[in-house]
Amino acid sequence: MKSILLSLLFSCGVAAHAFAAEDLPGYERMTVFPPDRALPVAASLWYPAGVRSYRGVVGDNPVFHGASVWMGARIAEGQYPLFVFSHGSGGNMDNSAWLFSALVEKGAMVLAVNHPGSTSGDSSPRASLYLDRRAGDISAALDALLSDPVLGLHVDRSRITALGFSLGGATVLNLGGLRFDWEVYRDYCLANPKATDCGFLAKGNVDLDHLPEGFSADGRDDRIGHVIAIDPAFTYTATAASVEAVTVPVSFINLGDRDRLKTGDVSENGSNLANRLADADYQVVAPSYHITFLGLCKSGGAELLAEEQDDPVCTDPDGVDRADTHKKIIKAVAASAGL
């Protein structure tokens, strides 16, 4: 997302509203302290609410619809499976409110973080390559939640799933034990300079011969028992040794049956990563496209982006219904996690 407009639109806004009658998820903001970050990192928790507090709307802005929540409400009694979510490049922890609300409705909790350097308003080609820092953000957030004397008691620690989209998909694969070869990625971008991810790096004048060590680091977190990666980045660069060593089950979801992003196509027509892992399943949500994962756009949202000469993230391919695609993604994620 290149402009100030989209940076503002994707920023984490919460608006207060009058009381509503419907059942809503609970929502709590957190601050976590990853050891590899100079500053604290923002996180948020979505969960089944035990009472109604006051109503807020998370992720709402002039282009995208948000989702209603009970702000800071007491969590409902019981233990729940947990998703830890990693956003894509230029996203943030509230972008996927539509998905988090649905997962809470199905009886889960969702913990999400902002990844500095690849978050709304500060997304940098160079900073986005530090996969170790992104994985560290998730692990630090998980540390904070599980050690919380109130919230941590409600997590079913035997059912922690790392869920990610795009660059976040690569992050959760890294959390599951997959590692990426920077030399292979250099060669991939030299051979595919017009690929979306490689073009993004070129805009930042990234030196492909000197990618950061963090790109190839081991980000494994043994508390993660399952990985769900939606159109994950860097799949061509997974090292053979780490592919063989991954022990957690991995679920892949590709968006669209044609015109997929090259880096995220894990089928036999792409990186074939879905078939290389010993314990992996694969689903396709179609008709769809990569950006269809983003939130539902408001009337006039596409026109507003066009006026600002911004990325047309509200414009899906012909025949694609974003609301219907979201329902299919929710169903696919829930099925993969056994909800």
Residues 213-225, mean pLDDT to the nearest whole number: 96
pLDDT value at 147 more than 80: yes
Domain extents in the chain:
4-337
Amino acid at 39: L
- The answer on pLDDT for 15 being more than 80 is no
Residues whose CB is less than 8 angstroms from the CB of residue 245 and which lie 6 or more positions away in sequence, other chains included: 177
Average pLDDT of span 240-244? 97
With contact defined as beta carbons under 8 Å apart, do 284 and 254 qualify? yes
Q: Tell me the C-alpha distance between 49 and 76, whole Å.
A: 5
What does the mean pLDDT of the chain come to? 90
pTM over 0.85: yes
Specify the amino acid at residue 225: G
pLDDT tens per residue across span 165-212? 999 999 999 999 999 999 999 999 999 998 888 999 998 999 999 999
pLDDT digits 0-9 by tens, 274-318: 999 999 999 999 999 999 999 999 888 778 878 877 777 888 888
- Asked if 166 and 232 touch (Cβ cutoff 8 Å), the reply is yes
Which of 6-10, 92-96, 174-178, 285-289 has maximum average pLDDT?
A: 174-178
Three-class secondary structure of residue 221 per DSSP? coil
CATH code reported for the domain at 4-337: 3.40.50.1820
Token representation of residue 81 = 């499976």
Rounded distance between C-alpha atoms, residue 106 and residue 82, angstroms: 12
pLDDT (average), residues 70-88: 97
Q: Residues in the chain, how many? A: 339
Distance CA 319, CA 286 (A): 10
